Amino acid sequence: MNGRRLCMSGLRPTRLLAVFLAADQALEIRSELRRIGGGSGSFRRRVALAVTTIAAAIVCTPASLARSIDSPQSAPAEPSRQPLVVEQKGPEDQGTVAPTLPPNTEPANFEGIWKSDHVRPLVQAALGTTGPLVTVEGTQPPYTAEGQNIFWHRMLMEQRGTPVANTAALYLPSIPLNSLSLDLEPFTILQTNTQVLVLWEDGTAWQIYLNKPQPRNLKPTYRGHSVGLWEGATLVVDSTGFNTRTWLDSHGSPHSGDLRFITRISKINHGRQLEFLTTFDDPRYYREPFTVRRTATWRPDLHLLEVEIENTRDENNEGMVYEDGEQPPRPAAKRSPGEN
């Protein structure tokens, strides 16, 4: 499945939603396969599925779905002043998850397997929302003019059928919290007196060093540098030191090298969920700090598998635009019927 072609083929958002729900079902089937044993076929399927899922999640953004592409050359509409539709409610509101083992009841012990509840950004698209990140107040991030221009540019490129490739599309790292928004896979947390370690199936490791100050003169990196301390049963994490290649979300919200965010992680719902309240601060692209909420559910029934990308950079990226200035692959030219 070519995710970009799917997005640009004129399918209605509801149809696309169904496609993605089917992909999610495939993942659930895969979860069943992993329980009964899969052999090498399962391994290859996992690689292929991971590539397909990541590619589709990257290119099928709400920007491409929320509006019909009647006039690709027209300027993007200003964002609605109405509050955006609040994100999909988590299991704490739906009561649908019944873990097979009781959760760890120690308030300040996050060890175990968790799965992000925010896995279907397309649900927002089907409801007509255009915001990439939604704040806890249900509004879009308070972009500065410069930040909004970059965001609109990326949204417009998406609508024109030449989406801008983010780092995930290039198989490069994202900021740690982006995994909470995109990943369909579980993650695990280990913790000691000196470190809280969050590991995702895609190999992403979020290392949170405890009771240490942020070092001076951090070298900018994709994942930045995170330090944390416990305030009672809440882990307060300070992250900074990012390069400027990553986005805050999969849709195009930019950040500068001055990005800093504070994430307050705590157990809720009697230990069945983790809540991540992240306050982003980046004066260049956002007028004021804003807070985004994510949750993850205790899933001791899941195992962490290994996900590896076996694509070259240009596979699945046909027609995309690279912001690093390199030449992207071009779509194959159409040939007339009689042409050799």
Partner 1 sequence: MRTENNRRAPLPSDRRVRTSMNDLGYLVLAVLLVGPLAAHADVDLTGLWRLQSSFQHEIKTTEGRTPPLLPAAAETYRKNLAKSAAGDFSFDKSQTLCTSPGMPRLVMLPYPFEIVQEPHRLAFVFQWNHRFRLVDLGGAPPIVDDLSYRGTASGHWEGDVLVVQTRGLVDTSLLDAGGMPHSEDLQITERYHLENGGRTLVSELTFEDPKTFTRPWKTVVTYRKLPPGTELDEDVCRERLAKGLPAFELDKWK
Which residues of this protein are in contact with partner 1, per CB under 8 A?
Answer: 34-40, 42-43, 46, 101-102, 104, 111-113, 170-173, 188, 190-192, 194-195, 197, 199, 203-205, 207, 209, 221-223, 300, 303-306, 308-313, 326
Q: Helix or strand or coil: residue 46?
A: helix
CB of 54 to partner 1, least distance (A): 14
Q: Which is nearer to partner 1, 144 or 191 (CB)?
A: 191
Q: Which is nearer to partner 1, 74 or 211 (CB)?
A: 211
**DSSP assignment string, 287-325:** SS-EEEEEEEEE-TT---------S-TTTT-TT-B-TTS
Q: Which is nearer to partner 1, 15 or 35 (CB)?
A: 35
Residue 173 in tokens: 């790292």
Q: Which is nearer to partner 1, 18 or 47 (CB)?
A: 47
CB of 224 to partner 1, least distance (A): 9
Q: Give the orientation angle of helix 39-59 with respect to helix 13-36, to 10 degrees.
A: 160
- Of 11, 32, 65, 102, the closest CA to residue 303 belongs to 32
Q: Which is nearer to partner 1, 128 or 171 (CB)?
A: 171
**E-assigned strands of 77-125?**
112-116
CB of 271 to partner 1, least distance (A): 13
CB of 186 to partner 1, least distance (A): 10
Please give the single-letter amino acid code of residue 108.
A
CB of 323 to partner 1, least distance (A): 13
Q: Which is nearer to partner 1, 71 or 192 (CB)?
A: 192
Distance from C-alpha of 183 to C-alpha of 187, rounded to nearest angstrom: 9
CB of 291 to partner 1, least distance (A): 26
Strand-pairing partners, residue 116, are 296
Burial 157-182 (b: 16+ CB within 10 A, else e): bbbebbbbbbbbbbbebbbbbbbbbb
Of the CA atoms within 13 Å of residue 24, those in its CB half-sphere come to: 17
- Of 58, 66, 60, 52, the closest CA to residue 8 belongs to 60
Q: Which is nearer to partner 1, 244 or 291 (CB)?
A: 244
CB of 96 to partner 1, least distance (A): 21
